[in-house]
Amino acid sequence: MFLDDLFPDQLTASVYDLEWEKLSKSYKGVMFDIDNTLVPHGAAADERAIVLFARLKKLGMRTMLVSNNKEKRVRPFAECLKTEYVYKAGKPKLRGYKEALHRLGTEPKHTLFVGDQVFTDVWGANRTGMHTILTEPVDPSTDEIQIVVKRWFEWPFKKAKGVKT
């Protein structure tokens, strides 16, 4: 059902709080949105993100950035993290997710998607068959106006699949 695809499989306050050692036992690939998932909107890659990506690689996980931003935003960020990327991904359309899966070389059932938005990150990744993790935005004050509006409509879906309130 359409609405089921809007609910994440898992919720977290921050990507930096996830139990990556445990997740790496079931998932071989992980895709991330950038803005307000890893850093505040528009910010450069910081030390926390660099350390996280090095940790994921040490755990044997393949990483990928999947962003609707232009290459001039995504490429330097990816270079700092030493990871691949898909820019202008068109989320929630499936094209960008499928391209990223192909480049990662992982199956959807063995791939995580971590993002801060229900109507782009979660909706598209769920329809692709990946395990989705919705994170709280790093700094909501940096959101562009269209994202602020979308966030208001996200609140009914900000619970994990199968969780009744």
CATH number reported for the structural domain that contains residue 108 in this entry: 3.40.50.1000
Task: Give the pLDDT score at 6.
Answer: 86
pLDDT confidence band for 113 (50 / 70 / 90): very high
Structural domain count, the chain: 1
Burial class, 72, CB count within 10 angstroms (exposed 0-12 / middle 13-18 / buried 19+): exposed
pLDDT classification of 9: cutoffs 50, 70, 90: very high
User: For residue 129, is it within any domain?
Assistant: yes
Residue 138 within a domain: yes
pLDDT of residue 164: 45
Write out the residue range of the structural domain in which residue 84 sits: 28-155
pLDDT tens, residue by residue, 34-55: 999 999 989 999 999 999 999 9
Backbone phi, then psi, for 133, in 5-degree steps?
A: -125, 120
Residue 90 covered by a domain: yes
Residue 17 located in a structural domain: no
Range 111-138 average pLDDT? 93
- Mention every residue, 6+ apart, whose C-beta is less than 8 A from residue 41: 35, 139, 142, 143, 144, 147
Show the tokens assigned to 18: 């996830």
